[in-house]
Chain A
């Protein structure tokens, strides 16, 4: 069974640009989560999508947005990039919307903003 996949693996952008990160969940999983792992800030929850709807959002500005497609894959968009957006962006999926379902992570996308 294929795991969670993310693309691209690495990305370099400049301040003010926009970026789109992509995630494909494990087959049969309907929930997709996005986390940011910035140096010195640990892992922070960004967004949660299930059945095409945004279910929960972390404490991030509106320039962080995303969506989930009918095939449950997801995109994370970041507009007006700032230097502090440099981080590893991790996507995770879980099989259903219920308390405590294990989240399985992809390999991440490393974003560097210059």
Chain B
């Protein structure tokens, strides 16, 4: 069974600084997708970034980028120039056959002014 692990229950960062959230996963599949979602206090799940496992190039979306290490089964999220609006629970997720998402436990990010 696939598992996703986020080892940092909580993280904090100063506004305008950079923070990296960690995620590891376990799978025997060769073809899969990885996602980062954020869940602000409104509880709405919002897609942050998506990575195809077959692509070696790390995905980037504006201030958000990932460090995808396929051999190490690691998928970390880097947030640059952190903003107050980035404060949220961040979930790492994995998808393969069956298209279900398997989520990690989440990392609560606090942004300090």
Asked if A100 and B32 sit within 8 Å, CB to CB, the answer is: yes
Please give me the residue from chain B that is nearest to A108 by CB atom: B43
In this complex, how many residues of chain B approach chain A with their Cβ under 8 Å: the count is 26
Task: Tell me whether chain A's interface is mostly helix, strand or loop, or mixed.
Answer: strand
Please give me the residue from chain B that is nearest to A47 by CB atom: B100
Looking at the complex, which one of A56, A90, A102, A108 makes contact with B98 (CB distance below 8 Å)? A56
Chain B positions 42-101 with a Cβ under 8 Å from a chain A Cβ: 42-47, 50, 52, 91, 95-101
Chain A positions 30-81 with a Cβ under 8 Å from a chain B Cβ: 31, 33, 35, 37, 42-43, 45, 48, 55-56, 58
Looking at the complex, which one of B37, B42, B99, B104 makes contact with A99 (CB distance below 8 Å)? B99
Looking at the complex, which one of A58, A88, A97 makes contact with B100 (CB distance below 8 Å)? A58
Bound state CA distance, A106 and B96, in angstroms? 22
Query: With A105-B44, A107-B43 as given contacts, are A100 and B100 in contact (CB-CB < 8 Å)?
Result: no
Query: With A31-B99, A33-B100, A35-B101 as given contacts, are A100 and B44 in contact (CB-CB < 8 Å)?
Result: no
Please give me the residue from chain B that is nearest to A100 by CB atom: B33
Looking at the complex, which one of A90, A94, A106, A108 makes contact with B99 (CB distance below 8 Å)? A94
